[in-house]
Amino acid sequence: MMRVLIVDDSTAMQHILRRGLVSAELTDIEIRLASNGLEALEAAKQWAPNLILSDWHMPEMTGLELLQAINHEMPDIKVGFVTTETSDDRIREAHDAGVQFVINKPFTVETLHRVVLPVLEQIRTGTTEVTRLKGAIDTDVDASEESRGEVAQPISKPVVVNFPGVEALEESINRVGSRAVFMEAIDTISSVFYTNLKLPQKRTV
């Protein structure tokens, strides 16, 4: 049974995260809630969760302090942050301390599943190295790829498109058209498309 401890000083956020995990319809997961880092640390000692989803800014003990305590006392427990914290320096500090991922609030259920479920699967299968998403922060999935922490890389070489021969194209058109079409071959042209090509805009005088 996979055990997940949700830590947030907002009761509403606790239940949002819980509903998000339950909606994944996992059959081997048990979820408990904690309201701050100290409460979570005590629960971790008694219950030994596999994964802790923690807010960063909380009274009594911050998420980062909880992470550091978990790493010191129970290093087998994985910790991920669900937070409004976006400072590059703080996010880097969290990753250096061993956080598995950082999800920004607000988030969608799709983001939660896309980030958390692979980590749970790796824990379930006993994989020791958890593959982190590219980028420090994972944000809402209804934005662009860059805002999700996955920056699309440019294609390093052009994609060459090979068009059908003239005879095959003429035959295809005449098969579906109502009038006969006659086509004549010209010099072969290689058609090359780049993903970052920008066409000039029409200018009106």
Instruction: Indicate if the pLDDT at residue 160 is higher than 90.
Output: no
- How much of the chain exceeds pLDDT 70, in percent? 61
Alpha helical stretches, state H, 74-179: 88-97, 109-125, 166-176
Q: What is the mean pLDDT of the chain?
A: 76
Instruction: Indicate if the pLDDT at residue 123 is higher than 80.
Output: yes
What does the pLDDT read at residue 151?
A: 30
Length of the chain: 205
What does the pLDDT read at residue 59?
A: 94
Structural domains of the chain sorted by starting position, each given as residue range(s) with its CATH number in brackets? 2-148 (3.40.50.2300), 159-193 (no CATH)
List, for residues 92-115, the tens digit of each pLDDT value. Answer: 999 999 999 999 999 999 999 999
- Which one, of 61, 177, 51, lies nearest residue 116 by Cα? 51
Instruction: Indicate if the pLDDT at residue 178 is higher than 80.
Output: no
Distance between CA atoms of residues 77 and 188, nearest Å: 62
Asked whether the beta carbons of 108 and 142 are under 8 A apart, the reply is: yes
